[in-house]
């Protein structure tokens, strides 16, 4: 098991140069990942990076939200909404609803596996388990152990 605090992660520029993100997980290697989890800071309207061959899940953590021009049509997302999934090559245009946002991204190389992002705990059949806490989360009953806010946790079984 490994816990990663967001504040301990350095900012990394987006592939298209339009913003920055902090990587909580890039497995097996940062420069050649199969699974990547990151928290992006979006300060201005603009397109997402094109990531051919990657399946993405995206959720707004903080801020008023965004509108994404997805292949099926525009979709508004706020911190209360479920995550959306889309192909990385879609590179949707992103419009901020009212100021900057902080967003969670889960990306998996297509063909290597599947990924999903859920706001509430649910059983998942997978070799990998991961959690990102946007508020304090208690993950053990005895003793009661907190996963601090803005922390990622992952385990490869």
pLDDT digits (tens, 9 = 90+) for 82-122: 999 999 999 999 999 999 999 999 999 999 887 778 765 55
pLDDT digits (tens, 9 = 90+) for 26-63: 888 888 898 898 999 999 999 998 999 999 999 998 99
Residue identified by tokens 């990385």 is 88
Percent of the chain past pLDDT 70, that is, above it, reads 73
ω before 28 within 30° of 0 (cis)? yes
CA distances from 57 to 86, 117, 119 (A): 7, 6, 12
Q: What are phi and psi of 109, to 5 degrees?
A: -65, 125
Do the strands 20-29 and 93-96 form a parallel or antiparallel pair, or are they unpaired? unpaired
Q: How much is the mean pLDDT over the chain?
A: 81
Task: Say what the pLDDT of residue 31 is.
Answer: 85
**Could you tell me which CATH class the domain 9-119 is placed in?**
mainly beta
Q: Given pLDDT bands bounded at 50, 70 and 90, which one contains residue 156?
A: very low
pTM score, whole prediction = 0.77
Residue 152, pLDDT above cutoff 70: no
Q: Given pLDDT bands bounded at 50, 70 and 90, which one contains residue 75?
A: very high
Cα–Cα dist 108/99, whole Å: 29
Cα–Cα dist 92/49, whole Å: 8
- Which stretches does DSSP call E strand in 30-127? 32-42, 46-47, 54-62, 66-70, 73-77, 84-87, 93-96, 101-109
Query: Which residues are registered as beta bridge partners of 37?
Result: 25, 106
């Amino acid at each position: 098991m490994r816990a990663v605090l967001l504040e301990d992660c350095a900012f990394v520029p987006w592939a298209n140069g339009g913003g920055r993100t902090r990587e909580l997980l890039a497995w097996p290697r940062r420069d050649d990942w199969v699974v990547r989890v990151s928290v992006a800071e979006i300060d201005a309207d603009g397109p997402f990076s094109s990531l051919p061959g990657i399946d993405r899940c995206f959720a707004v953590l903080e801020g008023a939200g965004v509108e994404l021009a997805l292949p099926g049509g525009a979709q508004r997302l706020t911190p209360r909404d479920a995550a959306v999934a889309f192909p990385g090559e879609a590179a949707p245009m992103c419009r901020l609803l009212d100021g900057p946002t902080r967003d969670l991204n889960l990306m998996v190389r297509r063909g290597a596996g599947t990924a999903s992002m859920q706001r509430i705990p649910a059983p998942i059949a997978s070799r990998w388990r991961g959690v990102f806490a946007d508020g304090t989360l208690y993950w053990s009953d005895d003793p009661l152990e907190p996963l601090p806010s803005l922390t990622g946790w992952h385990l490869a079984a």
